[in-house]
Amino acid sequence: NTIYPAGYESDFLSATGAGNTMSQLNRITPVEDLVAGGAGTLTEQLHNDAVGWADWAYGKWRAVIGRPMVTADGEDAQLDSGVSTSFALAVWDGGKGEIDGKKAVSAWLNLKVEAPPRKLASNREGVTFSDLPKDRIFFTLSGFMILLGAVAGSTWMFARRR
C-alpha cells in the first residue's frame, strides 16, 4: 500500500479497522448474505452463497442477485419445488437520507417455487432459447434473483421469530 504507511492502514481506514463488512478490501462480490431475527439484529453470515452485479443506466439501477436454491447453511432458506415461504423486501434511498431503519418495507409476500413445465410449446421441436424474447427473460430472471436474495434473509428472520 503506497498511500498509508505499512501496518497503519486501520488507523486511516477507520471503517476497515472497525471490521465494517461494507468496507473490507477483499470483497469478491457486492452482494452480502445477511440474516436478522428482528429489528437491530442484522448480522453477516460466516460464508456468502450469494453473488450479483448492478448497473446504473438511463437513470435507473438494474441489479441481479443469485443464490443456490439449496445451501449447506442451516440459516439459509432452503427452496425446492413445491415449497412455499414468506418474505419481505426493504429498500433504502440514500439520496433521501434513508439509512439503518429508515427505509421502505413491504408487507409479507408469499413465494411458491414450482417445477418448470416439461414442454415450452406443443410443436415437436419445442421452443429454442433464441425464439424467446430476451428482454422478458432478462427482467424475469433479474426480478427472481432479487427476490431470491431477499427471501434468504427474510425467511430466516421470520423463522427465528417462532
**Each residue's pLDDT tens digit, 99-138:** 877 888 888 888 888 877 765 545 555 555 555 566 666 6
State the pTM of this model.
0.49
Of the spans 2-6, 113-117, 137-141, which averages the highest pLDDT? 113-117
Q: Give the Cα separation of 85 and 8 in Å (integer).
A: 47
Residues 6+ apart with CB under 8 A from 29: 48, 50, 51, 52
Q: What CA–CA distances, in Å, run from 57 to 49, 54, 63?
A: 27, 10, 11
Q: Over the stretch 30-83, which tens digit does the pLDDT of each residue have? A: 777 777 766 677 777 777 888 888 888 898 888 888 888 888 888 887 888 888
Whether residue 101 contacts residue 39, with contact meaning beta carbons closer than 8 Å, is answered with yes
Task: Write the single-letter amino acid at 110.
Answer: N
Question: Measured between alpha carbons, how far is 24 from 99 in angstroms, rounded to an integer?
Answer: 19
